[in-house]
Amino acid sequence: MDDAVSTVVSATADAKIGDEAITVDAAEIAKGLGVEAHAVPELMRHGAITGRCEQGIDADAGRHRLTFFYKGRRLRLIVDDMGRIVSRSAIDFGTRPLPERLRRTGA
């Protein structure tokens, strides 16, 4: 996977792939990070929720890996070129900080 387009939050089904951004439903992010959907945009604006977007290459071509971080939590969504979420995973370390190795690309 290679760094690619940015991620935008809105109220859409699954995800919407654009030329410059991938739009993800705030409820999907909220569910994975354990916050209220209405709080997601503000938490992102203030840098409390951060994210990374990677575009698949070689065997992963046509997919995007979207990773969101909030406190001790990480949400990872794999999205195909049609915008369908084909995989989701979440890790919650509770009050412990998320290990730095889980913030790295490909981890």
> Taking every pair of C-alpha atoms in the chain, what is the biggest distance, in angstroms?
37
Q: What is the pTM of this model?
A: 0.77
pLDDT for position 5: 41
Q: Where are the alpha helices (DSSP H) in 5-85?
A: 26-33, 40-45
Please name the helix (run of DSSP H) or strand (run of DSSP E) that holds residue 24, with its range, or none. strand 21-25
What is the domain count for the chain?
1
Which residue segment(s) compose the domain that 10 sits in?
2-103
Query: Residue 79 is inside which H or E element, if any?
Result: strand 73-80
CATH code for the domain in which residue 68 is found: 3.30.505
User: For each successive 10 residues of the chain (107 residues), what is the average pLDDT?
Assistant: 44 68 90 95 94 91 92 92 90 77 60
